Amino acid sequence: MPTIPTVTLNNGVKMPQEGFGVFQIPDFDECKQAVKEALEVGYRLIDTAQIYQNESAVGQAIQESSVRREDIFITTKIWVTDYGFEETKAAVEKSMERLKTDYLDLVLLHQPFNDYYRAYQALEALYEAKKLRAIGVSNFYPDRYIDLANYAKVVPAVNQLEMHVFHQRAEDQYYLEKYGTKIESWGPFAEGKNGLFTNEVLVKIGQDHNKTAAQVALRYLSQLGAIIIPKSVHKERMQQNIEVWDFELTADEMAKIKALDLKQPLFIDHHSPAAIERFVDLKK
């Protein structure tokens, strides 16, 4: 079983650098089975969210697993409709009920809109009460991240962002390192956009290491220092995705992959007025 390295968060908590994401697996049985298989393969970080509608399946899988709860790092994310001090505290309690646990390892605010100041204060209160081992944010671009990091009592431990070989987030990484927050990649495969799995650069580098383009893409992000959470419902792919810790990309290979960076999102632009209006309308 591969040994996944850990990263140390800004409060001393150790977090696996690779985990298993359950985005777009809403079916209860399918999600439960996928999480159980991920734990069997060797994953110890499970990343879910309220909006994924599968926290209950994740909780059931963990309960049925032979892996001890204390050896599993559970992350969930609070959706914008539950932002606000009391609303967010209640939402976290509901997540813990669904996940069948009396504490969570990491809770993130899923989007940087609506009343995220009060929502983050609620996470701080739960962190101080030791119900949460670490807290952070997701999709906070440098402008909002810097504002929150300087405003908050507890600097976010993690910022989970769209990050892949086509959007490498160099500016984000600079500011996150400056303030002591780890970057975590969601969508590390860009959901296959831009032909990631057949990209000539990634394929060629993979051949030199007897690895796939997907494994090279994951290894690249990990060598940038990112936490990665690939997702698959196929056990053999889960195994492949975890087998990225037994090789290292050279400086020349890193430079070639760096050149793939388009420096723009492929999914949601969180600076787009239209996107912001959609998120704001969710709370109304």
Contacts of 257 (CB under 8 A, 6+ apart): 165, 201, 202, 205, 216, 217, 220, 249
**Other beta carbons within 10 Å of 277:** 10
| 8 is a domain residue | no
pLDDT in tens, 48-91: 999 999 999 999 999 999 999 999 999 999 999 999 999 999 99
Contacts 24+ apart (CB under 8 A), 123-130: 123/78, 123/88, 123/92, 123/154, 124/152, 124/153, 124/154, 125/85, 125/89, 126/89, 126/92, 127/154, 130/103
- Residue 93: band (very low, low, confident or very high) from pLDDT cuts 50, 70, 90: very high
Dihedral angle, C-alpha 25, 195, 162, 160, nearest 10 °: 60
| 7 is a domain residue | no
* 215 close to 243: Cβ distance less than 8 angstroms: yes
| 3 is a domain residue | no
pLDDT in tens, 198-244: 999 999 999 999 999 999 999 999 999 999 999 999 999 999 999 99
For tokens 């393969």, what's the residue? 41
| 36 is a domain residue | yes
pLDDT in tens, 25-38: 999 999 999 999 99
Give the model's pLDDT for residue 164: 98
Say what the pTM is.
0.97
Q: Which of 271, 84, 78 is nearest to 162 (CA)?
A: 271
Phi first, then psi, for residue 175 (nearest 5°) are -75, -35
Domain CATH for 29:
3.20.20.100
110 assigned ligand-binding residue: yes
Helix (H) or strand (E) holding 106: strand 106-109
| 38 is a domain residue | yes
The domain total for the chain is 1
| 223 is a domain residue | yes
Q: How far apart are CA 128 and CA 132, in angstroms?
A: 8
* 231 close to 24: Cβ distance less than 8 angstroms: yes
| 32 is a domain residue | yes
SS3 3: coil
Residue 213 structural domain = 14-283
| 2 is a domain residue | no
Token pair recorded at residue 140: 């906070």
Residue 102: burial class (beta carbons within 10 Å; 0-12, 13-18, 19+): exposed
Cα distances (Å, whole numbers) of residue 199 to 76, 188, 207, 213, 216: 32, 14, 12, 7, 11
* 21 close to 12: Cβ distance less than 8 angstroms: no
Give the model's pLDDT for residue 185: 98
- Residue 283: band (very low, low, confident or very high) from pLDDT cuts 50, 70, 90: confident
- 52 classed as catalytic: yes
Active-site hit among 43, 52, 120, 220:
52
